[in-house]
Chain A
Amino acid sequence: MLDDLKKIWYPIASSSDLPKRHVYHAQLLGREFAVWRADDGNVNVWENRCLHRGVRLSIGINEGTELRCQYHGWRYANRTAGCTYIPAHPADAPSRTICNNTYPMKEFMGMVWSGEETFGDPTYFENFDEFTVLRPIPINANFDLVKELVKSKYDKLNYLCKDEVNGAFSVTFERSETILFFVQPQDSNLSVLRGVANKALEGAKKISFLKMHNQILQNSRQEIEKISKTMKNNPMIAQISNVSVELSELPEKSEKNRQANLRVMVSEKIKTAEGIVSIKFEALDGQLPTFQPGAHIDLHLQSGLIRQYSLVNGPGETNFYNIGVKLEEESAGGSSYIHNNLRVGDVLACSTPRNNFPLRRDSVKTIFVAGGIGLTPLLAMAQALNVMNLNYEFHYFVKNAKHIAFSSILEKSKDKVFIHEGFSPSLTVEKLSRILSKRQKSMNLYVCGPGPMLEATRRVASELSWPDKSIHFEYFKNNNEIDDSSCFEIELARSALTLNVPSGKSVLEVLRENGIDLPSSCEQGACGTCKVNVIEGEVDHQDVYLNDSEKLEGNIMMTCVSRALSNRLILDI
């Protein structure tokens, strides 16, 4: 019987129960929900349990775009319920498997509806155009008993009572005034009676109407609870489902290269600056996976090319992906295809978002240095810091005013954004020296832009004694000429395999040929996706992802371009 009830849509809250930045605590059939409305209006119905230590999320903090757990501050995104930040691991991007259970939601007739395994459309009964929602009455009794006794109460008051579908019932007074009642079974012995009347009332009339029915129902509650005390029902025990198989198991071995498991549709394409378009993608169906600031996606273009683009989205903007694409003069076909051929309505394949450029949020201050289109990942980061009210400076170097992209987002944090127009390379260095000279302990620098500018920033920061670990950068591409002439042996410690890497082939290619599928994205040593841990051997680093101290330590390598200086490398695979 419980299985049948799980298919029914029940109202679990009045719309007025979800004011701005509040988290509502609900229960249905033994299962608790944390219900909250994001600033964009979306209502989230989630399992009432933080994935970390099981604390109720209903005591968490609704920050408008994310829900923050009260205990250790894990943050979960609007809509997806994916974890976006773990304060105890400030340098890491949370795994996409950290995603809370979400439940279906509809909002109509002034109420929020949900259910565990809802079936069909909830609007199976006559939907009132005008309505007044009664004060919900919690009753310590089984839902069947509540229904029976409330009906008989209204019957005695000369209302016409009628059963409706799925356990609902209506009471009508003098053929005009109808109240639909729904009994929300919180548990076997706990219900909430929710009523909605077929007229819109306001002011004193509304209050006297609400008070009248509130009184009738509270009187009825006394009788119901007296009887209920003598009855015994076993509590309903909600099973909390595990992480889905797809998320909990290692992906299947495959020889496919870069995977594109999402299908998205172009929903908006607008020119945001000279030579730069802003493109929004929406899911064809369902929910787009969670992303964190700094994340990028691989876009598989119809022309067969694969390109990486950073997401510009602010926190909680989870119903689309937004990227910025600059038309490259020497385009190999990627950016020119997007600029000239891609249209609203086109369907593309893309990868799930990957974050190799995570944002620390434990800095006393964060300095962003963006050059041209390099602002995209940094813009997502700045918006995350805005929400958390954290201190930062955003320096944006552009050719001239026409080249300022995403100005509407930049406008929102005017006092923190500094735009530097038309600086020559030498002036840029001078400016950077001034920006970076104000270094304090626990400050972090994030840089993204064209190669020469990035090099200059890293050099200036280093000269001003910024430690390597507080300089975070992302290159668009690897301009180094790759020398793949060496040949060497790789030993895979965990797979108990020894393979030969001949000249002309990358470690990544050799691994794939032997059935070991490593995730990869740019495949030119810029993005950091294909990194593996090195246990022994000297690495010939040819990437631009690792910083100098990481290269010197030699514990990590990019398998797409880096090779061995020694005869043998032992890898942690």
Chain B
Amino acid sequence: MLELYDYELSGNCYKIRLMLSFLNLNYTSKKVEFYPSKEHKSESFLELNPLGQLPVIFDQSVVLRDAQAILVYLAAKYDKSKNWYPIDDPDKLGFISQWLAFGDSITGSSSAARLHDTLFYGNFDIVKCRETAHSQFRILDEHLFFQEELGNKWICNGSHASIADIACFPYVALSEEGGISRMSYPAIRRWMDRFKRINGFVVMPGVFPAGPL
């Protein structure tokens, strides 16, 4: 069975848990204690991922690290509908990759601020992290506002959410734990409500469910 090296409070692991839930895939969660024991920096874990980062998946013979890479792998391999990662549509794939990189970049800002505030982790310039997160959120909010005007509910065009939405969601949704308010980003807040209403959505600590529509 598919194994996920997992930490409950990690937004990057949450991306994978969301994908697995949306695709209704069974998996085993291998708990890795990020805080306080820093198990992800232990020798045995570094053997699996020399970067010492979560998540990692183990699927048959494939060992894969990096949340975005794992999203691509899982969607391409297991999503028969090809909704989450339309492998036959190069235009969409380009945009999806662009926003996957954006989702990853929030790890360095919003996620870093959260690690600093809630898990006392790392040696980050907290002011700089928050500033960067705000400038990233401005870009995402503007993009989502005009997507709505064009009749698109998601980050990339089309009627179905893509792995780009999954990649961006966790650290946007957890930003307030790092002191980054989302009050100024109403289009992001609306997109979050829509995302939470996708069939199969699961929560994590700090991410609350939306009500019924």
Residues of A within 8 A of B (CB): 13-14, 16-17, 19-22, 24-27, 32, 58-59, 61-64, 68, 70, 135-136, 138, 186, 190, 192, 206-207, 210-211, 214, 218, 389
Contacts and interface: CB of A to CB of B under 8 A. Distances in A.
Give the 10 A-B CB pairs with smallest separation, nearest first.
A138-B184, A61-B211, A25-B183, A17-B186, A70-B208, A63-B211, A21-B213, A135-B145, A22-B193, A207-B149
A24 B186 contact: yes
Interface string B106-118: 0000000000000
A22 B150 contact: no
Interface in B193-213: 193, 208-213
Nearest to A32: B183
A19 B186 contact: no
A211 B149 CA distance: 11
18 contacts: A14-B186, A19-B190, A21-B193, A21-B213, A22-B189, A22-B193, A24-B186, A25-B182, A58-B183, A62-B211, A64-B211, A68-B211, A136-B186, A138-B185, A186-B183, A192-B184, A206-B149, A218-B142
B146 interface: yes
A68 B189 CA distance: 17
B74 to A, nearest CB: 30
B189 A21 contact: no
A135 B183 contact: no
Contacts of A214: 142
Given A20-B213, A21-B212, A389-B212, A27 B149 contact: no
B212 A135 contact: no
Interface string B173-189: 00000000011111001
Contacts of B209: 61
Contacts of A32: 183
B205 to A, nearest CB: 13
B189 A24 contact: yes
Given A62-B211, A63-B211, A135-B142, A22 B190 contact: yes
Nearest to B176: A59
A53 B127 CA distance: 29
A58 B182 CA distance: 11
Nearest to B186: A17
Nearest to B182: A25
Contacts of A13: 186
A74 B54 CA distance: 37
Contacts, number: 54
Contacts of B212: 21, 63, 389
Nearest to A192: B184
A24 B193 CA distance: 11
Given A207-B146, A207-B149, A27 B211 contact: no
Contacts of A16: 148
Nearest to A17: B186
Nearest to B197: A21
Interface size class of B (residues with CB under 8 A): 20 to 34
A218 B146 CA distance: 14
A210 B149 contact: yes
A26 B183 contact: yes
Nearest to B145: A135
A27 B182 CA distance: 12
Nearest to A66: B211
Contacts of A24: 186, 189
A25 B189 contact: yes
A27 B183 contact: yes
Given A19-B193, A20-B213, A63-B212, 20 more contacts: A13-B186, A14-B186, A21-B212, A22-B190, A22-B193, A25-B183, A25-B186, A27-B183, A58-B183, A61-B209, A64-B211, A70-B208, A135-B142, A135-B145, A138-B184, A138-B185, A186-B183, A206-B149, A210-B146, A210-B149
A333 B184 CA distance: 60
Interface in B127-177: 142, 145-146, 148-150
- Identify the interface centre among B142, B183, B209, B213: most chain A CB within 10 Å of its CB: B183
A248 to B, nearest CB: 31
- Identify the interface centre among A22, A27, A63, A190: most chain B CB within 10 Å of its CB: A22
A69 to B, nearest CB: 11
Nearest to A139: B184
Contacts of A135: 142, 145
Contacts of B211: 21, 61-64, 68
B23 to A, nearest CB: 26
Contacts of A70: 208
A24 B209 CA distance: 15
B149 to A, nearest CB: 5
B52 to A, nearest CB: 33
Nearest to B193: A22
- Identify the interface centre among A21, A58, A186: most chain B CB within 10 Å of its CB: A21
Contacts of A68: 211
A17 B146 CA distance: 13
Given A25-B189, A207-B150, A61 B210 contact: yes
A63 B209 CA distance: 12
A211 B190 contact: no
Nearest to A221: B138
Nearest to A26: B183
Given A25-B189, A26-B183, A27-B183, A211 B208 contact: no
A59 B183 contact: no
A356 to B, nearest CB: 30
A506 to B, nearest CB: 48
Nearest to A62: B211
Contacts of B210: 21, 61
Contacts of B183: 25-27, 32, 58, 186
